[in-house]
Amino acid sequence: MSSEIDGIDVKKVFAEEKAGWTGYVEWEKYPEKKAIASRILNKTKFTPIPEFQFVPLPDTNPVLIGHRWKEYHEVLGLKGIVDFSWETVQKEKPDLIHLLDFPYNGETRRNQLMEGKITSNKYHFIRNHGGVPDIDEDAFELEIGGQAEVTVTLQCSGTRRIEQIQQYPGDGDELINAPWGEGAIGTAVYRGVPLKKVLKVACGGVLPECKHLEFIGADTKNNVFNYAVSVPWRKVRLNEEVLLAWEMNGEPLPKIHGYPLRVVVTGYIGAR
């Protein structure tokens, strides 16, 4: 596919922002860039979203193929993110039930869940909204004091969606979604530093009027923005369970889990 669309060199306009951050495109600071991407996507014809809820799910692994989401990235010159994401899945999560190949959604098998109280990194489920960036840890510079450790059980809110699909086809979730069984749950030990300490030591605290903190990820979500969530400042201020984590079960974070650094917010629903 040509890198030019309507005279726009997408490889240049949507180039990666930072050295050592392969697959990362900064959208939030550049509304003009987002506008160009939106125009391109709106003018392009993509593979329709399948009405998979009205027919039996394919007996394959991956179960579903994210044609449309792959095409979004390809037309913007970001196919490398798609390729690297699947390569990472094959390396780090080969034995999961691959519900959706891109953006990757993978479910833990029953026998894997029963191996112990702590879910092994290679078996922990994945619920992604975008591709997996390849970030070099040497691109990070961070000096902080104090550590914390927290054991967290995560569960996708779509767990057992497959039962809804089978019993009530077409009733809600009309968009393509991963047909989760009961395996979208896992428990891991994360090590890192409490976010409130980083804000106090490195930033001198937050302004008195601060009500919420927003976290913006390095992955590109569909419809052209970096995936983001927010939590109330009181959640961060009152406990040390909101971490900037760099370890998972005694090992460096796998790339597919946010290497080299991710935020962990316990007790809150919504892709955190």
Q: What is the pLDDT of residue 143?
A: 36
Sign of the CA dihedral running 98, 100, 104, 105: negative
CB 111 within 8 A of CB 153: no
| Token couple for 157 | 């809110």
Domain-wise residue ranges, the chain: 4-135+147-265
> What's the CATH code, domain 4-135+147-265?
3.90.420
Residues 6+ apart with CB under 8 A from 61: 97, 98
Per-residue pLDDT of the chain (272 residues; tens, 9 = 90+): 456 666 788 888 888 778 888 888 888 888 888 899 988 998 899 987 765 556 667 788 898 888 888 999 999 988 999 999 999 999 999 999 999 999 999 999 999 999 999 999 999 999 888 899 898 888 764 433 333 444 545 545 455 555 555 555 544 444 456 777 778 889 999 999 898 888 887 777 788 888 888 888 888 776 677 888 888 888 888 878 888 899 999 999 999 999 998 989 888 776 55
Spatial contact of 24 and 218, defined as CB atoms under 8 Å apart: yes
pLDDT of residue 112: 95
pLDDT of 59: 83
Provide the pLDDT for residue 164.
54
CA–CA dist 266, 241 (Å, integer): 6
The C-alpha atoms of residue 99 and residue 66 are separated, in whole angstroms, by 10
> Which residue type does 201 have?
V
133 cis-preceded (ω within 30 degrees of 0)? no
What is d(CA 225, CA 57) in angstroms, rounded to the nearest whole number? 30
**pLDDT at res. 231:** 86
Helices and strands (H, E) in the chain, number of each type:
8, 14
What pLDDT does 3 receive? Answer: 62
What is the rounded distance in angstroms from the CA atom of residue 94 to the CA atom of residue 112?
Answer: 13
